[in-house]
C-alpha cells in the first residue's frame, strides 16, 4: 500500500495573521507556520492504514522553504519519506494551479511505485476553500471520496476504500475502488503526537526537493499571474459593535423575537 498524504504549511492560527501589502498574498514570512492541523488527521489516517497492514506513507507539500517544517512534523509522526515542491514561480498560486503541481508530483512519485491512495485534509486552515482534493482527483483521474469521517480499506492495494460522510440528517457510506483520493475530516481520528524517538528518526528520513522543471510544468501555468482569482484589497474585520439592548416594557419577548427574525436567526 503506497499512500501519498498532501499536507500544507500554514500560518499558525493562534498568531496574528496578515497579508503581504505588495501583492495581497498571505504573509508567510512574518508569522510562525506549522503543519495545517486539519492535515494531521490525514497523516494519522494514513499511518493507521500502513500500521494495520503494510506499505509506505509519503508526505507531499507544495510551499516555500519553511514548508519543510510541515513535512518534518509528518515524518516525526511516523511518515516514511517526504517530497517538497518549492519553486519561486509557485508563489501566489491559486487552488487550480496548486492542484496541478500536486498532481504532477504524485505522478512522479508514482513512477517509482504506483500510488494506491491519496489522502488529504478536508481543507487548509488558512485558505479553507476545500476544493483542492476534488481538483486533484480530477487531474489524476481518481475517484474522489471526500469529507470522510471514517475510512476502511478492504483488500489492500487493489481493493476498495469505503468512507462515511456525515451530513446534517444522514450519513452516507461511499465505496471507491483503489487507487482513489480520500479527504478526511477532523472527526476521523485523534492525531498522535510525535514521540521523541520519532523526532530523532525523522532526521534520517529522505526528503526529495523538486522544482517545477522536475515536474515538467511551465512556470506560466502557476503563480499569481496564472491565478483565476485575485485579491484586490484586504482590510481588517471591523471590531464588533456594541450589541443592541432591548429594554423590557412588557413587550421584551416580542421585541427579542422580532430582532431574531429580522436577522434571520430563527
Partner 1 sequence: MPTDDATDLIELTREICRKDLAPRVDDAERARTFPEETFRTLGRAGLLSLPYPEEFGGADQPYEVYLQVVEEIASVWMSVAVGVSVHSLTAYPIASFGTPEQKEALLPGMLSGEQLGAYCLSEPLAGSDIASMTTRATRTDDGWSLKGTKAWISHAGHADYYTTFARTSDDGGRGLSTFVVPGHAEGLSFADPEKKMGLHCDPVAQVMFDQVRIDEGRLVGHEGEGMHIALSALDAGRLGIAAAATGLAQAALDRASEYASEREQFDRRIGDFQGLAFLLADMEAAVTSARATYLHAARLKDAGRGYSKEAAVAKLVATDAAMRVTTDAVQVLGGAGYTEDFPLERYMREAKVTQIFEGTNQIQRLVISRHLLTR
The binding site for partner 1 (CB under 8 A) comprises 76, 192-197, 199-200
Q: Provide the minimum distance between the beta carbon of 122 and partner 1 in the complex, in angstroms, as a whole number.
A: 19
Distance CA 79, CA 5 (A): 9
- The phi-psi region of residue 152 (left if phi > 0; otherwise alpha if psi is between -120 and 50; otherwise beta) is beta
Q: Provide the minimum distance between the beta carbon of 195 and partner 1 in the complex, in angstroms, as a whole number.
A: 4
Distance CA 240, CA 172 (A): 39
Which C-beta is closer to partner 1: that of 81 or that of 192?
192
Q: Provide the minimum distance between the beta carbon of 197 and partner 1 in the complex, in angstroms, as a whole number.
A: 6
Of 109, 122, 100, residue with least CA distance to 59: 109
Which C-beta is closer to partner 1: that of 121 or that of 223?
121
Decide: 178 and 161 in contact? Cβ < 8 Å.
yes
Sheet holding 160-166, edge to edge: 150-154, 160-166, 171-177
Distance CA 139, CA 133 (A): 10
Which C-beta is closer to partner 1: that of 40 or that of 116?
40
Which C-beta is closer to partner 1: that of 203 or that of 264?
203
Strand partners for 2: 56
Q: Provide the minimum distance between the beta carbon of 200 and partner 1 in the complex, in angstroms, as a whole number.
A: 6
Which C-beta is closer to partner 1: that of 199 or that of 227?
199
Q: Provide the minimum distance between the beta carbon of 32 and partner 1 in the complex, in angstroms, as a whole number.
A: 11
Exposure pattern of 95-115 as b/e (b: 16+ CB <10 Å)?
bbbbbbbbbbbbebbbeeeeb
Amino acid at each position: 500500500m503506497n499512500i501519498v498524504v498532501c499536507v500544507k504549511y500554514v500560518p499558525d492560527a493562534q498568531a496574528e495573521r496578515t497579508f503581504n501589502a505588495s501583492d495581497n498574498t498571505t504573509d508567510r514570512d512574518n508569522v510562525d507556520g506549522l503543519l495545517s492541523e486539519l492535515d494531521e488527521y490525514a497523516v494519522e489516517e494514513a499511518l493507521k492504514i500502513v500500521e494495520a497492514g503494510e506499505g509506505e506513507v509519503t508526505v507531499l507539500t507544495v510551499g516555500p522553504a519553511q514548508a519543510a517544517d510541515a513535512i518534518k512534523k509528518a515524518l516525526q509522526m511516523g511518515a516514511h519519506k517526504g517530497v517538497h515542491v518549492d519553486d519561486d514561480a509557485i508563489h501566489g498560486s491559486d487552488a487550480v494551479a496548486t492542484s496541478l503541481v500536486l498532481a504532477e508530483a504524485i505522478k512522479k512519485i508514482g513512477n517509482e511505485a504506483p500510488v494506491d491512495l491519496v489522502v488529504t485534509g478536508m481543507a487548509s486552515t488558512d485558505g479553507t476553500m476545500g476544493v483542492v482534493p476534488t481538483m486533484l482527483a480530477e487531474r489524476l483521474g481518481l475517484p474522489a471520496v471526500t469529507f470522510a469521517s471514517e475510512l476502511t480499506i478492504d483488500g489492500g492495494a487493489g481493493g476498495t476504500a469505503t468512507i462515511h460522510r456525515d451530513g446534517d440528517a444522514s450519513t452516507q457510506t461511499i465505496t471507491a475502488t483503489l487507487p482513489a483520493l480520500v479527504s478526511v475530516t477532523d472527526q476521523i481520528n485523534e492525531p498522535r503526537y510525535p514521540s521523541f524517538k520519532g523526532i530523532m528518526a525523522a532526521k534520517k528520513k529522505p526528503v526529495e526537493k523538486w522544482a517545477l522543471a522536475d515536474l515538467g510544468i511551465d512556470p506560466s501555468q502557476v503563480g499569481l499571474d496564472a491565478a483565476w482569482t485575485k485579491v484586490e484589497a484586504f482590510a481588517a474585520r471591523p471590531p464588533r459593535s456594541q450589541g443592541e439592548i432591548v429594554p423590557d416594557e412588557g413587550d421584551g419577548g416580542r421585541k427579542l423575537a422580532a430582532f431574531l427574525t429580522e436577522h434571520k436567526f430563527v
